[in-house]
Copies of this chain bind each other. A is one copy, B any other.
Amino acid sequence: MPKKTKKNNPRYVVGIDLGGTKILAAVVDDKGQVLGRSKRKTRGKTDNATDPETVTDRVVTCVQDAVAAAGLKLGDIAAVGASAPGPVNVETGFVARMANLPGWEEGFAFGPELSKRLKLPVWVDNDVNLGTLGEVVYGAGRGMKDVIGIFVGTGIGGGIVLGGKLRRGVRWAAGEIGHMFVDISAVQRGGPVCGCGEPGHVEAIASRGAISRRLAAAIAAGEPTLLATEVKDESDLTSGAIRRAWEAGDELTRRVIAETQEVMGLLIASVVNLLDPEGIILGGGLVESLGDAYVEPVRRHAYAHFFLPDRAGEVKIMRAALGDDATILGAAVLARSGL
């Protein structure tokens, strides 16, 4: 954990969102306003390299560009917060192996390396944690202290804010909502598997990836669907393709989405029955793509299964408000507050 420095202007921090595809960086002031931003591909044009040294250099360039875009110099920045797409030891800034960044081995000193290059204090945390923190401080969860973020995309990620603080866990592994079991029969008798290889997890059933696999199998089996003309293989079944089919009233797509909305409602009910938070924030690619048409049925299913049903409405179920900015703003909050 870096030490706080007072010599730089505490009004400005940099938030970084490092993903497997792109790097986002932004200069953020103490009101959460973005003063300058920059975007860059994670992989090189020619070499496709994702080794940690090369990617860290690209992050540095992205930060320099964002600072320049804000009309500032690195010396004006007080601290840097960065997300990484996997488990992070927030105390040391060391990351675990990152599934979407081949070559990042367990124990790469991402925070310290970035700090050395930028000559600034750097805090690092998991991307979904920081996305949730961003939504709680500046987005859908503003004013709340106990919020669970659930992000539905290729997988299903989660972040937990309790008492205004991120819950990290004893192994820095808290918030793995996608890896909660909702279907023991799939464990016992087999079923579609999760990104982690296990059946029965909610990610194996209700993520955008799981939906795409189900749709692809249905298309292959010759089920009638508008998607058949649009789709060559599973990789074409993006959130956008799913939205277009959904909007066109495609029966297969509507049925599969409706089933996963019930599953997400039950997942939320489980998490609420365990933690009884003030709010649940739903975000991620699929939620952004389908919007309230996704959130409303999930909310209805969830409320139907809460413990203390008469008081279900006291737990708000909200749609994420910040899109791609959630993680960089959460990273800025981390930079400002430290752990």
Contact = CB atoms under 8 A, between A and B. Distances in A.
Interface string A223-255: 000000000000000000000000000000000
Interface range on chain A (Cβ under 8 Å from partner):
35 or more
B198 A305 contact: yes
Interface in A280-339: 305, 307-308, 311, 314-315
A249 to B, nearest CB: 24
Given A187-B266, A266-B200, A274 B170 contact: no
B200 A276 contact: no
B181 A274 contact: no
Interface in A254-291: 262-263, 266-267, 269-271, 273-278
Q: Please give the count of copies of this chain that the complex contains.
A: 2
Interface in A170-202: 170-177, 179-185, 187-188, 196, 198, 200
15 contacts: A158-B274, A162-B162, A168-B276, A170-B276, A170-B278, A170-B314, A171-B314, A173-B307, A179-B307, A181-B270, A181-B305, A187-B266, A196-B307, A270-B270, A274-B274
A274 B315 contact: no
Nearest to A158: B274
Contacts of A167: 162, 275-276
A67 to B, nearest CB: 35
